[in-house]
Amino acid sequence: MISNLQINHRNFIVYKFLNSLFTGVSVGSIFVIYSDNIDPSIYSLGGIVLAALMMLVSLMYSKILNNYYFFRISLFVEVVLLIMVIYFLIFSYSPLTSLLIYCGYQLSFVFGSYLIRAETLALKKDKILTWVDLSKNAGYLVGLAFSFLFYKIIELDFNLIIMNYEVCGLNITDNNLQVYNIHYLLVLLEIGIIYSLIKSFRKED
């Protein structure tokens, strides 16, 4: 009953691609959100709490290393990320926002080692694991390239007349505003990630 879930390999590969795409797109924004808003001691305290919680999760491996918990913990992590992105769009920059986003990421990192081990045990086959890792690396690279182009494009300042329509560059050069705008895309991307994760698991016939 507890492990009566099977993984659809094709959908799971798509999920891992989108998941890494999110990481690639968002990685640069984290430094902007955190800058000057969090006391350095918080990072030390957060690291201590993270290590302690990861040890606690490790002690539970005998119970949670199965597809049932793999799916639910993966979904929990993705929902936390979605909430964080939406929260940032609603409340924008503040010390509290930075702290909550930091805590949210730390919470997702708590399950990092577990998710890697659960994924390996669930997929088993070398060929599938190879494709999963390739999709993760490809997603991360595409995400980094996309975020680079996004920031450069919205910086452009131009005025063109195309078929009697005026086309203007956004001329957004402020780092905070650039990062804020990319979070609209991150919301859509995270919704796609959650959908692909749900489609990756199915009950055994």
In tens, the pLDDT along 19-53 reads: 999 999 999 898 888 776 777 888 888 889 999 99
More confident residue, 180 or 38: 180
The answer, yes or no, to whether residue 196 has pLDDT greater than 50, is yes
pTM: 0.92
Among 108, 105, 119, 113, residue whose Cα is nearest residue 16: 119
Number of structural domains found in the chain: 1
Q: Phi, psi (5° rounding) for residue 174?
A: -75, 125
Query: Domain of 163?
Result: 5-203
- DSSP type of residue 164: T
